[in-house]
Structures are given as C-alpha cells and as structure tokens.
A and B are shown apart, each in its own frame.
Chain A
Amino acid sequence: DTEVTQTPKHLVMGMTNKKSLKCEQHMGHRAMYWYKQKAKKPPELMFVYSYEKLSINESVPSRFSPECPNSSLLNLHLHALQPEDSALYLCASSPRLGAGELFFGEGSRLTVL
C-alpha cells in the first residue's frame, strides 16, 4: 500500500463552521505533513509531525489545529475560517523527517463561504 488517503475530497463550509480534514497512510512512515496550495502556486508548508509529535508549525493561524492521533493518521481541524483560506489542502508522508521523497494524498479542496 503506497497511498496517502485524504477525506473529504471536497468541503464547503461557512465561516462559523467547525470541520476536520483527515489523512491516513499505511506505509509505516513516521513523518507527516500538511501543505496548503492555492491555484497556480506551489504547496506551502503548514505543519510537520515526526513520530506523532508536532515538529514544525509554520506560524499558521490558530484557526487551523493539527492533530496526530497515531502514526497512521493526521487530522486538520478547521474553525472560524476566512474566505481566503479556500485552497487545496494536501497531506503528505515520508519515511522519516528529512527524507527527500514525500508521498502526497490527492488533497481536500476547501471552499469557505
């Protein structure tokens, strides 16, 4: 199994809603990542987890809250988002921190109304 699975694929939410994005991998990878990507732009790093502990937070607003319940799962909790947060949210994993090869999921396309 070489897949990173993200759900939901599409999400529409209002600014007062609370929702969560989910990511799962069964490759035994110990590093997991959240990236945000706007149209025609590169992926922008948000959070990095290593061995289920938060390793990097790229000064992301607190309305985004990551969680790593176990080595296979990564969540991104969303609350009080703004329309400018509308983007493709990509989850990725790698065997370890510092590996050059990231395996990306298909992403969750988020629209904030």
Chain B
Amino acid sequence: GQSLEQPSEVTAVEGAIVQINCTYQTSGFYGLSWYQQHDGGAPTFLSYNALDGLEETGRFSSFLSRSDSYGYLLLQELQMKDSASYFCAVGSGNTGKLIFGQGTTLQVKP
C-alpha cells in the first residue's frame, strides 16, 4: 500500500520561510508532487521531483531524498495569499495512481 505523512497545520508570518515535510511509503515510487489548494478552489500543481535534489520555481522549492523516502516544500518570502492547503502526492509504478497526503494547512499571519 501507500502512505504519506505531513504536518496538519503550519503557521508563519508574512515574509518568513516555511518548510512542509512529507514522508512516504510506497512501492514502485516514481515521483513526489506538491499541490496547493485554496478554500473552495481546485488543487493547483506546484512542483514535481522524480530525482533526488532540489527543484526551484520562483518562491517555491521542493526537495526529494529517495533513500530517506522524504521530501519537503519550501516557501520563501511568504505572502498572505500563500494561506492554503498544501498536499504532497506520490505516484507509484506505471499505474497512474497519484495518491495524496492528508494535507497541511498553512496560515500566513501579518
């Protein structure tokens, strides 16, 4: 089976940096994705790591360590609009299954 763990809630202030961790267990792992979802909205893709290391996209970066079954999403220069739920998701094998973690609610305070 597959399982993912991420913190349920994180709070930070505007302008700060926050890291959301994700640990996973899956067979045939092929990648770790991150999605953002605002209340009432649809999930929006943020980043994808298939190989170890850091991927940077603007204020957001994502890291993967396959040997540790661990990844994180790093959000820099936090803005109020970053308040949302963040989901890590793992894909396994070639089945097309992308399974989501329980989500981390990020609250950005002034």
- Chain A residues packing against B (C-beta within 8 Å): 31, 33, 40-45, 48, 50, 55-56, 90, 97-98, 100-107
Q: Which segment, of B12-20, B40-48, B73-81, faces chain A?
A: B40-48
Closest to A6 in B: B42
Contacting B102 at CB < 8 Å: which of A42, A45, A48? A42
Q: Which residues of B contact A103 (CB under 8 A)?
A: 45
- Chain B residues packing against A (C-beta within 8 Å): 30-33, 35, 41-45, 48-50, 87, 91, 93-103
- Most chain B CB within 10 A, of A40, A90, A100, A101, is at A100
Q: Tell whether A42 pairs with B100 under 8 Å between CB atoms, given A101-B33, A104-B43, A106-B41.
A: yes
- CB <8 Å contact, B95 and A97: yes
13 A-B contact pairs sorted by A residue (CB < 8 Å): A42-B87, A42-B100, A45-B99, A48-B97, A90-B43, A97-B95, A98-B95, A100-B31, A100-B50, A101-B48, A102-B35, A102-B43, A104-B43
- Report the minimal beta-carbon distance from A31 to chain B, rounded to whole angstroms: 6
Assembled-state Cα–Cα distance A103/B45 (Å): 7
Q: Which residues of B contact A55 (CB under 8 A)?
A: 95-96
